[in-house]
């Protein structure tokens, strides 16, 4: 087998770009280092416009991190995740409001970068929920008709062995909230998705826990998969995940992560990932 055929094309995606200085700085540094290939962006977040061009300069793919759960100082429909899930499954969300908020976030992304997002996913995976996924798919198909459609994040869990039961259970719940329906409906409209998904854990344990998980994920992921992470260059006291975000950053920036990527022949930079998956 040739070297090229040995390479696993895996998207290494950092979420929450645009939420804070600490997160943006960490993601940009890791992208410059070649440890990330994509970042999912909160286009209405307080720091997105200020740092988006620096991230674009790294060559990382940039997607829209669709948000319906954290206002970040913006007016709109933002609900606690559990409430949003209940209302979505009861089909009690206002479709006109969903449509308007999706359009606002797409327009904010385009206004800063002058182009469509490379992909779309959801903050806390809200893009796959009932009602939201239906409105999103139509909005994207209409908005980018005649263009290359953004690819979409599937939360179909990778079949990884050796992970704690608690982590696997959380990944299963995320998948069960809409991965199958999103995949069916998206492919019917011509969208591409990653094959499998990893990176779910309880955001605990500092560097040792994340290092063990990252090594396991990178060893077991296959061609077309996506691994999410949530790094930050320093711990923001206002962020309840701040310490663990810093731990992720330190692991991803370290020598061990570089060695794991090389040993597992993972290549993250794909010009058109969605068409490969």
The full set of domains in the chain, from first to last, is: 3-276 (3.20.20.370)
Quick one: pLDDT at residue 162? 79
Give the pLDDT score at 271. Answer: 37
Q: Check residue 275 and give its pLDDT.
A: 41
> How far apart, in whole angstroms, are the C-alpha atoms of residue 49 and residue 72?
14
> What are the C-alpha distances in Å from 200 to residues 36, 159, 187, 223?
17, 12, 24, 19
pLDDT at 5 over 90: no
- Average per-residue pLDDT for the chain: 93
The predicted structure's pLDDT at residue 270: 43
What pLDDT does residue 272 have?
42
Residue ranges of the alpha helices (H) in 59-120?
81-89, 95-113
For residue 86, give both structure tokens: 């209940």
Compute the distance between CA of residue 147 and CA of residue 116 in angstroms, rounded to an integer.
10
Compute the average pLDDT of residues 35-64.
97
- 132-157 mean pLDDT: 97
Question: What is the predicted pLDDT for the residue at 7?
Answer: 83
Confidence band of 166 (pLDDT split at 50, 70, 90): confident
Q: Which pLDDT score, from 0 to 100, does residue 163 have?
A: 81
pLDDT of residue 161: 83
């Amino acid at each position: 087998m040739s070297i090229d055929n040995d390479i696993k094309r895996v998207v290494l995606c950092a979420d929450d770009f645009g939420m804070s200085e600490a997160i943006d700085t960490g993601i940009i540094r890791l992208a410059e280092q070649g440890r990330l290939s994509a970042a999912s962006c909160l286009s209405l977040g307080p720091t997105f416009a200020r740092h988006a061009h620096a991230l674009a300069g790294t060559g990382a793919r940039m997607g829209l991190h669709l948000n319906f759960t954290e206002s970040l100082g913006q007016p709109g429909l933002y609900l606690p995740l559990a409430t949003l899930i209940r209302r979505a499954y009861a089909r009690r969300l206002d479709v006109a409001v969903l449509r308007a908020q999706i359009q606002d976030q797409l327009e904010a992304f385009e206004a800063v970068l002058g182009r469509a997002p490379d992909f779309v996913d959801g903050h806390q995976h809200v893009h796959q929920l009932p009602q939201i996924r239906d409105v999103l798919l139509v909005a994207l198909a209409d908005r980018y008709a005649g263009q290359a459609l953004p690819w979409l994040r599937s939360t179909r869990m990778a079949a990884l062995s050796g992970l704690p039961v608690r982590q696997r259970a959380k990944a299963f719940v995320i998948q069960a909230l809409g991965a199958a329906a999103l995949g069916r409906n998206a492919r019917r409209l011509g969208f591409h998705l990653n094959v499998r998904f990893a990176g779910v854990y309880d955001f605990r344990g500092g560097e040792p826990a994340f290092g063990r998980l990252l090594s396991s994920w990178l060893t077991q992921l296959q061609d077309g998969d996506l691994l999410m992470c949530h790094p930050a260059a320093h711990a923001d006291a206002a962020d309840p995940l701040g310490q663990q975000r810093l731990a992720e950053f330190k692991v991803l920036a370290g020598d061990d992560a570089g060695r794991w990527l090389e040993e597992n022949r993972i290549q993250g930079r794909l010009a058109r990932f969605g068409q490969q998956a």
